[in-house]
């Protein structure tokens, strides 16, 4: 799976939690890959809900969201999030603009959670740099403590 999300906004997200720590390019790349997988998985679930309702357009409610924030408040750009949403779903589905924004907000919140854990792991390891391994450890922890 190629990474559809640009690293700059993902780097911005991880730096919100990093404080005085440095962020390796590998950490931003690992975080982009992780939230991309999450976005594709969420879109598959949303497509299943739309299919059940007999629709071909994914709506905000399909992503378990009630509203969408203004796009100016998001670091993640909407166009790449739309491409992420389409990675694992059939081409016959459309994704409404509000659904794209809702998914971007969810992915950004998820990325913030991962970045916070990665920051704590780097501190715990006594490092001044957040590395890809810190982001990857999140997956291991999440599988043990869902």
pLDDT digits (tens, 9 = 90+) for 48-93: 999 999 999 999 999 999 888 999 999 999 999 999 999 999 899 9
Look at residue 116 and tell me if it is in a domain: yes
Look at residue 94 and tell me if it is in a domain.
yes
> How many separate domains does the chain show?
1
What is the C-alpha to C-alpha distance for residues 78 and 128, in angstroms, rounded to an integer? Answer: 32
DSSP conformation letters of 58-78: E-GGGGT-S----GGG-SS-H
- Domain range for residue 102? 7-140
Within the chain, how many helices (H) and strands (E) appear? 5, 4
Residue 111 belongs to a domain with what CATH number? Answer: 1.10.20.10
**CA–centroid distance for 75 within its chain:** 11
Confidence tier at 141 by pLDDT (50, 70, 90):
confident
Query: What percentage of the chain reaches a pLDDT higher than 90?
Result: 86
Question: Does the residue 120 lie in any domain?
Answer: yes
Task: Kindly state whether residue 50 falls inside one of the protein's structural domains.
Answer: yes
In a domain, 112, yes or no: yes
Q: Is the pTM of this model over 0.75?
A: yes
- Residue 145 belongs to some domain of the structure: no
Q: Is residue 2 part of a domain?
A: no
């Amino acid at each position: 799976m190629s990474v559809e999300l640009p690293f700059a906004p993902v780097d911005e997200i991880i730096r919100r939690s990093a404080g005085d720590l440095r962020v390796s390019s590998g950490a931003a790349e690992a975080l982009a890959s992780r939230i991309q997988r999450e976005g594709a998985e969420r879109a598959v679930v949303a497509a299943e809900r739309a299919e059940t309702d007999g629709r071909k357009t994914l709506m905000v409610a399909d992503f378990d969201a009630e509203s969408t924030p203004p796009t100016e408040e998001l670091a993640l750009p909407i166009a790449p999030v739309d491409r992420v949403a389409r990675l694992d779903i059939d081409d016959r589905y459309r994704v409404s603009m509000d659904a794209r924004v809702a998914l971007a907000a969810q992915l950004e919140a998820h990325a913030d959670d991962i970045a916070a854990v990665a920051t704590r792991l780097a501190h715990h390891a006594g490092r001044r740099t957040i590395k890809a391994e810190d982001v990857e450890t999140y997956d291991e922890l999440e599988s043990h403590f869902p």
